[in-house]
Amino acid sequence: MESFWKKILVNKIIHSILVLALILAGESSGQDNWLNVCDYGASGSKFETAASTTAGSKQLTVDKVGDFKVGQGVTISKCNPSYTRCILKPPENPFSSNPMGDAAELRGYDGSSGSWLIFLVEINSIDPLTFRWSDDMARTWKGTKVPVTFDWQPLSGGVEIKLKKQEWQLGHMITFNARDQLVSKIEKIEDNVITLEHEATRTVKEAVVRHCDSVALQAAVRRALEEKRNVFFPVGHYRLMTGITVANANSIILEGASSVDTVLDISEGVGSCISLAGGTNITVRNIRMVGHSGLGEGPGWHSFPTSSGKACWPVGLKPCAAMHIRNTERVLIENCHASKMNCEAFYCQGDSRAGTREPRAYTKSLTYLRCSVTNSDGNGFNNNDLAENTSVLYCRIVDVGGCTWEGASRFVRFIGNYVRNSGTIAMGNIGSRTNHLEELGSGQHIVADNVFEGRTFYNGRPGGYIVRATCGATQVIVRDNIFVNYNSCGIEIIPGGDKRHLPTANCTIRGNIMDMTAVDEPSRARTAIHVGSSDVIISDNQVYNRGVCDANVTAIRLTEPAINLITHDNLVRNCGKGIVGDTVYSIVEEVVDATTFVAGRGSVPMERRKSHCYRDWNLEWFRGSKSAGLSVIESFDPETFRFKLKQPAEMKVGDRFEVFAPSANWLVHNNSITACGQPVAFNVHGSDTSFFRDNIIERGNENSATQAVAVTGKFKLIDNYSAGFDGKNGDAPAKP
Provide CB contacts within 8 A for 71, sequence distance 6+. Answer: 41, 185, 186
**Cα(555)–Cα(394) distance, integer angstroms:** 28
**Omega before residue 128 within 30° of 0, cis:** yes
Backbone angles phi, psi at 40, to 5 degrees: -115, 20
Element (H, E) at 217: helix 214-227
By DSSP bridging, strand 204-211 and strand 73-76 are: antiparallel
313 pLDDT above the threshold of 80: yes
Summarize the confidence of residues 161-180 as an average pLDDT: 96
3-state secondary structure of 29: helix
3-state secondary structure of 322: strand
| pLDDT tens per residue across span 492-513 | 999 986 788 899 999 999 999 9
Residue 439's Cβ-side half-sphere holds a number of Cα atoms within 13 Å equal to 8
For residue 248, how far is the Cα from the chain centroid?
A: 27
Q: In the prediction, which pLDDT does 12 show? A: 47
96 pLDDT above the threshold of 90: no
| pLDDT tens per residue across span 478-488 | 999 999 999 99
398, 399, 402, 404 alpha-carbon torsion, rounded to 10°: 10
On whether the CB atoms of residues 602 and 588 are closer than 8 A, the answer is: no
Q: In the prediction, which pLDDT does 254 show? A: 98
Q: In the prediction, which pLDDT does 15 show? A: 44
Q: In the prediction, which pLDDT does 206 show? A: 92
3-state secondary structure of 24: helix
Other residues' Cβ atoms within 10 Å of the Cβ of residue 575: 31
| Of 386, 399, 431, 393, residue with least CA distance to 415 | 393
| pLDDT tens per residue across span 644-696 | 999 999 999 999 999 999 999 999 999 999 999 999 999 999 999 999 999 99
Summarize the confidence of residues 408-435 as an average pLDDT: 94
Q: Taking the CA atoms of the chain, what radius of gyration do you get in angstroms? A: 30
| pLDDT tens per residue across span 16-63 | 454 344 345 444 445 679 999 999 999 999 999 999 999 999 999 999
**Cα(423)–Cα(703) distance, integer angstroms:** 36
Q: In the prediction, which pLDDT does 170 show? A: 96
| Of 98, 107, 113, 115, residue with least CA distance to 175 | 98
For residue 122, how far is the Cα from the chain centroid?
A: 27
Q: How confident is the prediction for the chain on average, in pLDDT?
A: 92
Confidence of residue 14 (pLDDT cuts 50, 70, 90): very low
Domain range 46-79+181-211, CATH class: mainly beta
3-state secondary structure of 360: coil
Beta sheet of 160-163, edge-to-edge order: 104-107, 160-163, 153-154
Q: How many separate helices (H) and strands (E) can be counted in the chain?
A: 2, 68
**Omega before residue 662 within 30° of 0, cis:** no
Check the CA dihedral 66-67-69-75 and report its sign. negative
Domain residue extents for the chain: 46-79+181-211, 85-174, 231-423, 477-736
How many percent of the chain have pLDDT more than 70?
94
Confidence of residue 3 (pLDDT cuts 50, 70, 90): low
